[in-house]
Amino acid sequence: GAVVSQHPSRVICKSGTSVKIECRSLDFQATTMFWYRQFPKQSLMLMATSNEGSKATYEQGVEKDKFLINHASLTLSTLTVTSAHPEDSSFYICSARDSRGRETQYFGPGTRLLVL
Amino acid sequence: RKEVEQDPGPFNVPEGATVAFNCTYSNSASQSFFWYRQDCRKEPKLLMSVYSSGNEDGRFTAQLNRASQYISLLIRDSKLSDSATYLCVVRSADKLIFGTGTRLQVFP
């Protein structure tokens, strides 16, 4: 089946630093990718929708200047958490929609971020 | 009110038991419905789509009642490997909306 990778799988950083997370679709092209965040014992919350070649669409309450999204190619989207703080510690998961199929959405393995 | 509501559980059942999970959604214009499974510290994985006519995949049966905005998942003959969190997911306005999940623990 379709595979989506994320890198890194886990990151620990100091407060104030920026962290970049990569999401790649390995065997298909993804015009649209989605970034989610999941806090412990909570549901996945959509942060933003990333569209190749255009600006991302952010959900209400998500700061676009803090969570920078770049979707420069049909197989790669990046999320940069700028000036990370302890409250940004979470499980970040991306998903990619196969350009050939409208509904099929594949999830990456997630990135666990811990900000000290 | 949350867009997708589920009983968080946990449901603790013995092997071989039948267990049912329920979910309600608030947006009557929702287009598609799914059950996902999420293991601890892992990404969610699609278990099955849910249709109004009901659908079955082995030991798993899913039902959708659009009038009541209610979705269910039935697991028969529970296995230890079924232990996980089951997420009710609704597609609305081209976005996936996740429930908090229902935790299932199957014991020997």
Residue numbers in A near B8 (CB within 8 A): 41
Contact check, Cβ <8 Å, A46/B32? no
Q: In 3-state terms, what secondary structure has residue B82? A: helix
Of the candidates B44, B45, B95, which has its C-beta nearest A46's C-beta? B95
Would you state the pLDDT for residue A102?
A: 61
- In whole angstroms, give the CA distance from residue B108 to residue B106: 7
Contact B98 A103 (CB under 8 A): no
- Asked if the model's pLDDT at residue B105 lies above 90, the reply is yes
To which residue do tokens 């996902």 refer? B36
pLDDT band at B79 (very low <50, low <70, confident <90, very high): very high
Of the CA atoms within 13 Å of residue B7, those in its CB half-sphere come to 12
Contact B91 A103 (CB under 8 A): yes
Q: What is the pLDDT of residue A14?
A: 96
pLDDT at residue B35 in the model? 97
Q: Is pLDDT larger for residue B82 or for residue A106?
A: B82
**Does the beta carbon of B59 lie under 8 angstroms from any beta carbon of chain A?**
no
User: Residue A65: what pLDDT?
Assistant: 95
Query: Residue A97: its pLDDT value, please?
Result: 87
Contact, B98 vs B2, CB < 8 A? no
Q: Is B45 on the interface with A (CB under 8 A)?
A: yes
- pLDDT, one tens digit per residue, over B4-58 is 999 988 999 999 999 999 999 999 999 899 999 999 989 999 999 998 888 999 9
Chain B CB contacts of A41 under 8 Å are: 8, 100
Residue B50 near chain A (CB below 8 Å): no
Residue A35: its pLDDT value, please? Answer: 97
One digit per residue, the tens of pLDDT, for chain A of length 116 reads: 668 999 999 999 999 999 999 999 998 888 899 999 999 888 899 999 998 888 899 999 999 999 999 998 999 999 999 999 999 999 999 999 887 766 678 999 999 999 99
Nearest CA in chain B to A4: B43
Binned at pLDDT 50, 70 and 90, residue B65 comes out as very high
Give the per-residue SS3 of chain A.
Answer: CCCEEEECCEEEECCCCCEEEEEEECCCCCCEEEEEEECCCCCCEEEEEEECCCCCEECCCCCCCCEEEEEEECCEEEEEECCCCHHHCEEEEEEEECCCCCCCEEECCCEEEEEC
Mean local confidence (pLDDT), B70-86: 97
